[in-house]
Amino acid sequence: MAYLSRRDFLKGSVGVGVSSTLLAPCWKVGYGSMGFLFAGEKKMPFQQPPLPYPMDALVPYLSEEQIRFHYGKHHAAYFKNLNTLVEGKPEEQMSLREVVIRSTGSVFNNAGQAWNHTFYWNCMAPKGGGEPTGELAEAIRRDFGSFEEFKKAFSDAAAKLFGSGWAWLAADKEGKLSIMPLSNADTPLKYDKEPILTIDVWEHAYYIDYRNERARFVEGFWNYVNWPFAAKRYSLRNQPDQLD
């Protein structure tokens, strides 16, 4: 997944009250790009990755406030809950993907939501939109008839999903694409499929900006879709160790 430079991360984190003076230079002590530490803080097994863009980067589609609550409150809480739930348990030694695939109950709910949101942030980009190209574009035409037909089917699945959940574009091992509307924290990873693109349709994803108008929130998504990210996921669908 794509990650921010330290400068962009600090800029984007101001909205959640992070002071740059509290940040330990984790990029210098080996924790890699998946997380950061505050001075004196114990390293948790699962770290919320920084947003791949500043919190106001998707305006006017999503406000800084919408992202600040979604990323800084909801997504952060899933990581916090997960770390508490797995403390002292075998899951501490697993990758997040592995926990998602193998767990059930509360551990799955929090691990799934932690993974799904990180994926979702990367499905959007400030200069996104347009249409895919290359192998993914060909697969969409083959499996849905046209890009427009795919877009309509995906939008319908997202807008009509009952309750909370996610609309996914997923690929099987042979590369066949399908649209999967899934409830709560559910993910194509549970069905041995690789996620290619998703939109979060939990109310917390859009209620600040769109109130109850989910369809309008879904329509705006297309102007920010990160097609290069989706295309990369598709091309590496059988090499998950290369993905996350």
Neighbours of 156 (CB within 10 A): 15
- By Cβ distance, which residue is nearest to Fe ion? 200
Tally of CA atoms within 13 A in the half-sphere of 201 that contains its CB: 32
CB of 177 to Fe ion, least distance (A): 23
In the complex with Fe ion, the residue whose CB is nearer, 132 or 165, is 165
Residues making contact with Fe ion (CB under 5 A): 200, 202, 205
Tally of CA atoms within 13 A in the half-sphere of 212 that contains its CB: 1
CB of 183 to Fe ion, least distance (A): 13
- Distance between CA atoms of 173 and 207, rounded to whole angstroms? 36
CB of 69 to Fe ion, least distance (A): 10
In the complex with Fe ion, the residue whose CB is nearer, 144 or 202, is 202
CB of 187 to Fe ion, least distance (A): 13
In the complex with Fe ion, the residue whose CB is nearer, 200 or 209, is 200
In the complex with Fe ion, the residue whose CB is nearer, 197 or 205, is 205
165-171 vs 37-38, strand pairing mode:
unpaired
- Distance between CA atoms of 148 and 151, rounded to whole angstroms? 5
